[in-house]
Amino acid sequence: MSKRVLSCIQPTGDIHFGNYFGAVKNWVSLQDQYNCMYGVVDYHAMTMPYNPKKLKENTWELVYNLLAVGVKAENLFIQSLIPEHAELGWIFNNFASYGRVENMTQFKDKSKQSSQGKEGFISVGLYDYPVLQAADILIYRADFVPVGEDQKQHLELTKEIANRFNNQVGKEYFVLPEMLRTETPKIMSTADPTRKMSKSAGEKHNISIFADEKRLRKQIGSAVTDSGEPTSEMSPGLANLFQLLKAANNLTAHDEQMAAYTSGALKYSELKGIVADTLVGLNREFVEKKEAITADKKAIKNQIKASSAEIRKRAQATIREVKDLCGLSNVKF
C-alpha cells in the first residue's frame, strides 16, 4: 500500500508565497506518488480572536485557492467536517506533557500578539493547538508531513505524543511521522527579512499568491535589502530575494544574479524586477485557474463535502481502535 501523506493549512487568509514554496507546492507534487490528505483546519483558526462569518468565508476561499494551485478535490477535507480530530485531540491532551506544550515557540509568539490585542485575551485553544495538530496527523497514521520549517517543533511534539501513547497501551499503534521539507522551507517577510513571511504578522509581512499584480510588484519593489556596502555575509533581505527566485524555479536568473552579486556588480533594482516578473508569472497562472474553478462554487462545495465524508471514514476507524486501546466505550456504527 502506498505511504500516507497528511498536511494542513489554516483558513486565516490567502495562501502566501511562504505557504506555497514552503509546503503547498510540495503537496501538489506528492499527489502522484502517495496517498495524500490535505486539510483546511478551521478548528485551528478559532484559537486567535476571530469572526465566525469571516471564518466560513475564508474556509471556502482557501478550498478554491488550493484547488487552483493543483490540490486534487478528492484529497481535500475541511477539518470541522471530521469532528473525530477534536475527539482525538482531547484524548491526546492526556498524553501530552504540559511543560513541553508550554514551550512551543508558536504559542509564545502568538500569545504575545493576542495579549497585545484589544482584549488582551489568550485562549486555552491557542495553548492546546499543537495537541490538536498531533491528532490531525496521527488520526490518519500519516507517514509523511510536508510542512515548512516553522512546524518542526510541532512535529517533534506529535512524535512524543505518539510514543507515550504507544508505550502506555503497550502496542506500536501509531506510526512516527516524518517531516518533509522543500528546498526553501522558510521564506522571510520582504518587509522585515529577519522574520518569517506570515499571515498573522500583518498585511505587509506576506504576499498572497493571488495578489493583485500591482500590489505584488509594489511589495517586491519595496523589499528591505541593505545599504549595498560590502559585507562578509549576504544580508537576509537579499538572501530572501534569491530564495524566492530559486523556489520559483527561475534558476538561470538566479545563477546570473548570484554571479553579479559575487563580482560586486549586482543591481538591487534589477534583481527585484526579475523576482517580481517571476512571481507575477506564477500569480497569473493561479488567478486564471481560480477564475475557471470558481465558475461553479456549488459543485465544488458538494465535492469537498463528499471528499471530507470519505476521508472521515479513515478517521473514524482510528478513533474506534484508539478508544478500545484507551479503555473508553465505543458505540457500534
Nearer to ligand TYM, 148 or 237 (CB): 148
Residue 214 annotated as catalytic:
no
Helix (H) or strand (E) holding 64: helix 52-69
Give CA separation, 132 vs 53, 79, 321, in Å: 23, 11, 18
112, 118, 186, 196: the active-site residue: 196
| Distance between start and end Cα atoms, the chain | 26
25, 199, 272, 290: the active-site residue: 199
Identify any residues that bridge with 196 across adjacent strands, giving them in sequence order: 188
CB of 4 to ligand TYM, least distance (A): 12
Alpha-carbon distance 281 to 96, whole Å? Answer: 45
CB of 26 to ligand TYM, least distance (A): 9
- Neighbouring residues of 25: CB distance < 8 A, sequence distance ≥ 6: 69, 182, 247
Nearer to ligand TYM, 154 or 254 (CB): 154
Contact 190, 243 (CB under 8 A): no
Alpha-carbon distance 16 to 197, whole Å? Answer: 8
Alpha-carbon distance 92 to 207, whole Å? Answer: 35
CB of 292 to ligand TYM, least distance (A): 24
Nearer to ligand TYM, 154 or 217 (CB): 154
SS3 188: strand
The residue of the chain with the least Cβ separation from ligand TYM equals: 22
25, 110, 272, 290: the active-site residue: 110
CB of 167 to ligand TYM, least distance (A): 23
Residue 199 annotated as catalytic:
yes
Positions that interact with ligand TYM (CB under 6 A)? 6-10, 18-19, 22-23, 41, 44, 133, 136-137, 145, 147-148, 150-151, 154, 185-187, 196-198
CB of 8 to ligand TYM, least distance (A): 4
Nearer to ligand TYM, 132 or 304 (CB): 132
Nearer to ligand TYM, 204 or 264 (CB): 204
Helix locations, 152-211, DSSP H: 152-169
Residue 332 annotated as catalytic:
no
For the annotated catalytic residues, the residue numbers are 110, 196, 199
